[in-house]
Amino acid sequence: MTADLYRQLKRQLCTSLGESEASAVAFWLLEDEAGLSKTDVLMGRADTLSPEQTDRLCSMARRIGMGEPVQYVLGHTDFCNLRIQVAPGVLIPRPETEGLVRLSLSMLPPCRSASETSCPTMLRPRRSQHSLRILDLCTGSGCIALALKHACPDATVEGWDLSDDTLRIARANAEALGLDVGFRKADVLNPQTSTSDRQEAELCLIVSNPPYVCEGERADMEARVLDHEPSMALFVPDDDALRFYRALARWGVVMPAATTLVAVEINRRFGNDVVAVFREHGYSDVQLHQDSYGNDRYVQATYLHGTN
Ligand code: GLN
Ligand 1 pocket by Cβ (under 6 Å): 94, 209-213, 225, 234
Sign of the torsion angle spanned by Cα atoms 278, 283, 287, 293 = negative
Instruction: Using the atom order of ligand 1, give the atom closest to the CA of residue 225.
Output: 10
Rounded to whole angstroms, how far apart are CA atoms 283 and 305?
A: 10
**Strands 82-85 and 156-161, sheet pairing:** unpaired
265 CA to centre of ligand 1 in angstroms: 9
Closest CA to 248 of 289, 189, 304: 189
pLDDT tens for the chain, 308 residues long, are 346 899 999 999 999 999 999 999 999 999 999 999 999 998 888 888 999 999 999 999 999 999 999 999 999 999 999 999 999 999 999 999 999 999 999 999 865 443 444 445 555 555 444 589 999 999 999 999 999 999 999 999 999 999 999 999 999 999 999 999 999 999 999 877 665 566 678 899 999 999 999 999 999 999 999 999 999 999 999 999 999 999 999 999 998 888 999 999 999 999 999 999 999 999 999 999 999 999 999 999 999 987 66
Instruction: Using the atom order of ligand 1, give the atom closest to the CA of residue 233.
Output: 8
Instruction: Using the atom order of ligand 1, give the atom closest to the CA of residue 209.
Output: 9
Residues 267-306: tens digit of each pLDDT? 999 999 999 999 999 999 999 999 999 999 999 999 998 7
Could you give the C-alpha distances from 28 to 24, 34, 187, 205, in angstroms and in order? 6, 10, 37, 35
Instruction: Using the atom order of ligand 1, give the atom closest to the CA of residue 210.
Output: 9
96 CA to centre of ligand 1 in angstroms: 9
Give nearest CA residue, ligand 1 atom 4: 213
First to last CA, the chain: 71
The DSSP-derived string for 120-135 is -GGG-----SS-EEEE
118 CA to centre of ligand 1 in angstroms: 32
